[in-house]
């Protein structure tokens, strides 16, 4: 495995690889790998000839007061895990090369970025869309893989690719969970032992809602309080509990096969997200 830090060198490697007729996959990350990241890598390896995994903690997607400075990092461990999971290039771009002095261009994807996490994290998805557009332009992948845990981010990227006519296939990968149901996240490390015991309430509430839907309940106004009760009884503070259409993230009046139940809740000072599809 090779490590590249310069975008110019990354693009040159990519061009050589594409000229050789190889299909190129990209998995964008902020590092601190867990099994969720590794499953994306293995998913990509099965669908491409070469795999680039980027590690870049993108400052413009963090709002004031968020965890930019404390975001977990272990690059040595990440390198070892990337090597053993089929990664050809670990792209760790230098911040000054990604955002040089007087950088002033952003990419904004309206509509799908306005609701859910977009309400409480203004500017976050513009930061995500901007850095992903830059990564696509630098790496020039044939396909890119994103986890479905952040379903709104996936929707933003799909909309970006569609609207800008980018020749990239975007694939989502199912959420990877701990044995007790908690969706894997690098930020789970922030949880105290007591909070870690409470955090699986998100997954439990999704499962409970799914059971109610299977029994015939379709009304979000009936389902939402049941989900909230499970979260609050575990000591979590719900931020949103939304039933939305998976294609546009707009609220639905009745749960159907294309409905996503998306959650955000605070467990202490840690913000957790999760979702499920009813189809």
Catalytic residue numbers read 37
Distance CA 58, CA 68 (A): 8
Buried residues in 181-196 as b, exposed as e (16+ CB within 10 A)? bbbbbbebebbeeebb
Say which residue the tokens 């980027």 belong to.
54
Distance CA 230, CA 226 (A): 7
Say which residue the tokens 């990604």 belong to.
98
Count CA atoms within 13 Å of residue 194 on its CB side: 5
Token pair listed for 87:
């990664």
Distance CA 40, CA 57 (A): 18
């Amino acid at each position: 495995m090779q490590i590249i830090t310069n975008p110019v060198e990354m693009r040159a490697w990519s061009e050589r690889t594409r000229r050789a007729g190889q299909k190129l996959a990209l998995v964008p990350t902020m590092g601190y790998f867990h099994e969720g990241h590794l499953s994306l890598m293995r998913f990509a390896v099965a669908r491409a000839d070469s795999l680039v995994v980027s590690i870049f903690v993108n400052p413009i997607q963090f709002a004031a007061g968020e965890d930019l400075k404390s975001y977990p990092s272990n690059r040595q461990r990440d390198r070892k895990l990337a090597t053993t999971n089929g990664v050809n290039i670990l792209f760790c771009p230098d911040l000054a090369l990604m955002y040089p002095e007087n950088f002033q261009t952003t990419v904004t994807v309206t509509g799908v970025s306005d609701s859910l996490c977009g309400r409480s994290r203004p500017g976050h998805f513009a930061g995500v869309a901007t850095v992903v557009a830059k990564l696509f332009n630098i790496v020039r992948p044939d396909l890119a893989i994103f986890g479905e845990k952040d379903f709104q981010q996936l929707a933003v990227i799909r909309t970006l690719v569609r609207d800008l006519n980018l020749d990239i296939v975007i694939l989502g990968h199912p959420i990877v969970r701990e044995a007790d149901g908690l969706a894997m996240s690098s930020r789970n490390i922030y949880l105290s032992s007591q909070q870690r015991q409470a955090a699986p309430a998100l997954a439990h509430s999704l499962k409970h809602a799914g059971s109610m839907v299977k029994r015939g309940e379709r009304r979000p106004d009936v389902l939402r309080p049941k989900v909230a009760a499970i979260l609050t009884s575990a000591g979590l503070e719900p931020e949103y509990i939304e039933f939305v259409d998976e294609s546009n993230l707009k609220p639905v009046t009745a749960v159907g096969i294309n409905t996503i139940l998306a959650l955000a809740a605070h467990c202490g000072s840690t913000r957790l997200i999760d979702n499920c599809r009813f189809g």
